[in-house]
Chain A
């Protein structure tokens, strides 16, 4: 006697659901393209309306037709570099502490605190930066104003920390236990094991953490706008950290509300958006290449 397999009923609903899910996979790529397309639609005209030497000049006085992006780009770079110098070492050391050193009970306190920090809206940090941090900066450094690039870097460093710490901690956590055991069995102290075995083994993940943190810092808008003072000037001298600067993000946020649609100023602000999009895209591309590299290496090790 032969059994015929029972025919499965194909439900219309099932086919629809599966088709929807398969197409949704496409939509992330579509969103990236869409974002770029609409930035380009409004931003590309700027490159035709403004002469190149003006666009890459030093002066940003939009009302008089000076659209020098250079001071904004350097402003963003200055604040971000400052934030990275503060946040990268701090974040890595904290990640090492949480992943390798901290007793369990302490980890259960520190990790939720880091999540709280990640959850605090940037406008709240900007608000406190204005009210508490900037008077402090002004007093300590005896500067004419506390709204400086340094204040911006400090706030940004704090905002980048949760990203750096959690990604780096994940990377350290995923280093196989056997690596540490082997080092300890050979007579290394835990301290030596951390710096000569665990951290080097997690280095591509740590690199990703740094890149993602820096990417976060470049794109931050509200807090930076509120604490950096927003003076558009070329920050090339050594005392620039103690002076106000203006970043690309803050410029868009502060000026977009007041420009006429379709004006040159409007197009230039979108062009700044294109620039930001490209920069963060490259930073994140670099970060994700590091991720892929790590998984590839893990596969090689396992096979």
Chain B
């Protein structure tokens, strides 16, 4: 039997819908299952106490604080450099071989496996520069890994600012730098912020780059300076799900849920910011 074109289309669209549902449904299940299994573990003590009893009791405090330190440290290094590079690419770079090389290296930077960043951080920051296993080494490693995300989203935000804004500013006697710093950057700020948050989200959830640069297996105290080692949420989840026998499942799911909330709330903020400013934007 030969199907009519309309039926082919109808069946085809149904098939595409089915595939998309197969992609999306497990995401809902995964998040939902972690929330259901992890929620009972979420108590005030779980968030504010040191782990005890071989990590089988107590809370997550040092891991949460460690991840906050690492995320903040990553922001300190990656945001200025990333935004500066985006300004360079969007406002200064002409289309020549050099710019192409820069773009090529950004694409390749984005593609380097996270564990290779870990090796690099170990080789350069921990050993060669002698920072040891420390928040400084970990945050620097994470920030280089985060740069491509920040650069590409910020560049996009800068390019979205209409050319006429620049023309007007220049024609009023503004210098190029005045135009960029007082007109273009403020207009692009929400877009840049979105990119920064997405980049930091990635940094907060990564395990492999911090394995050999900062993460401590078990360290029940809070870091005092950037030269301290620290526990971190993603590595802690790895440790308690593979390295500690007899670990209560409830604590494992609870840890997974805390990490997921941490990361996905950043995702939510970024998405909210984007849609809010897109609606408010005049141009």
Interface residues in chain A, defined as those with a beta carbon under 8 Å from any beta carbon in chain B: 6, 8, 14, 17-18, 20-22, 24-29, 31-32, 34-35, 38-39, 41-42, 90-91, 93-94, 96-98, 101-102, 109-110, 112-117, 119-128, 130-132, 158, 161, 165, 189-192, 212, 215-216, 218-222, 226, 249, 252-253, 256-257, 261, 269-270, 273, 276-277, 280-281, 283-285, 287-288, 291-292
Contact = CB atoms under 8 A, between A and B. Distances in A.
22 contacts: A14-B177, A17-B177, A28-B147, A34-B124, A35-B117, A90-B19, A90-B23, A91-B23, A112-B271, A119-B263, A122-B205, A124-B237, A127-B238, A131-B241, A189-B8, A191-B13, A222-B207, A222-B234, A249-B208, A252-B118, A276-B116, A285-B108
Contact of A256 (B20, B93, B212, B234): B212
Contact of A25 (B6, B93, B124): B93
Nearest to A223: B207
B27 A276 contact: no
Given A25-B102, A113-B28, A219-B112, A123 B13 contact: no
B88 A284 contact: no
Contacts of B55: none
Contact of B181 (A17, A20, A109): A17
Interface of B: 5-6, 8-9, 12-13, 15-17, 19-20, 22-24, 26-28, 30-31, 33-34, 81, 84-85, 87-89, 92-93, 98-120, 122-124, 127-128, 144, 147, 151, 173, 175-178, 181, 201-202, 204-208, 211-212, 234-235, 237-238, 241-242, 249, 252, 256, 259-260, 263-264, 266-267, 271
Nearest to A9: B175
A161 B23 contact: yes
B7 to A, nearest CB: 10
A151 to B, nearest CB: 14
A32 B264 contact: no
B208 A253 contact: yes
A127 B256 contact: yes
Given A91-B23, A113-B27, A288-B107, 19 more contacts: A25-B93, A29-B101, A35-B117, A94-B19, A117-B27, A121-B205, A122-B205, A122-B207, A123-B207, A124-B259, A124-B260, A128-B30, A130-B242, A219-B116, A220-B113, A221-B113, A256-B119, A273-B115, A287-B111
